[in-house]
Copies of this chain bind each other. A is one copy, B any other.
Amino acid sequence: MIQKIPIVEKILSANDRLAEMNRQKIEEAGVFSLNLMASPGAGKTSLIEQTLKCLSGEFRVAVIDGDIATSIDADRASAAGATAIQINTGGECHLDAVMLQNALQQLDLTQFDLLIVENVGNLVCPANFPLGTHKSVLIASIPEGDDKPYKYPGMYRGVDALVINKIDLLPYIPFKMDFFRTGVEILNPGVVTFPVSCQTQEGLDEWIAWIKTNVTAKK
């Protein structure tokens, strides 16, 4: 008799177990945490900058930045007032729970109210690796086109909130909002959605209000 060992499942559950440990650590510190995911250039770092600006003086924010290379994003988050830690994945196309665990060891979480984890720019792989954060947020971007929910269902299906960034570019780009929203609704019915522009600040108030409510609930 041959017994098959489900290897893929075991690897995934190792990540999930570490994610649970991360969650417990974050939870005990009373911090609200976000896993921010998106395509390259959808505006993760810009949204973090705007969020830091709006929360300045009110909440203490830590940012953990995942990138293949460079510390460009962590430098921007740091310049915008956050305690920032850069994870260079060295080629890996997503963060995983191990990388977050290592990064968390460099932070005294009790000194913060909000933890934002900026994942690697990728609309596929990060969806398969929970980190242990409270909420996962996807940033869509108008110039990416209105068909992205249909073509990248895994990412759209799993998230707790959706930010639609760069709405200031709507006049210059063929983007059917109804078609986009129908795709989102099929995959993730009723998901809370924030159309914003990090350039003009339009729509950011609702996003910030959502963050504040979540942070306050953890106190």
Q: Which residues of A contact B (CB under 8 A)?
A: 39-41, 67-70, 72-73, 91, 93, 120-125, 141, 143-145, 147-148, 150-154, 166, 168-169, 172-174, 199
Number of copies of this chain that the complex holds? 2
B93 near A144 with CB under 8 A, answer: no
Contact of A41 among B73, B125, B145, B172 (CB under 8 A): B145
User: CA of A168 to CA of B70 in the docked complex: distance in angstroms?
Assistant: 29
Chain A at the B interface: mostly helix, strand, loop or mixed?
Answer: loop
A40 near B152 with CB under 8 A, answer: yes
Contact of A151 among B72, B124, B147, B173 (CB under 8 A): B72
User: CA of A199 to CA of B52 in the docked complex: distance in angstroms?
Assistant: 35
Residues on the B chain within 8 Å of A152, using CB: 40, 68-69, 121
User: CA of A81 to CA of B72 in the docked complex: distance in angstroms?
Assistant: 43
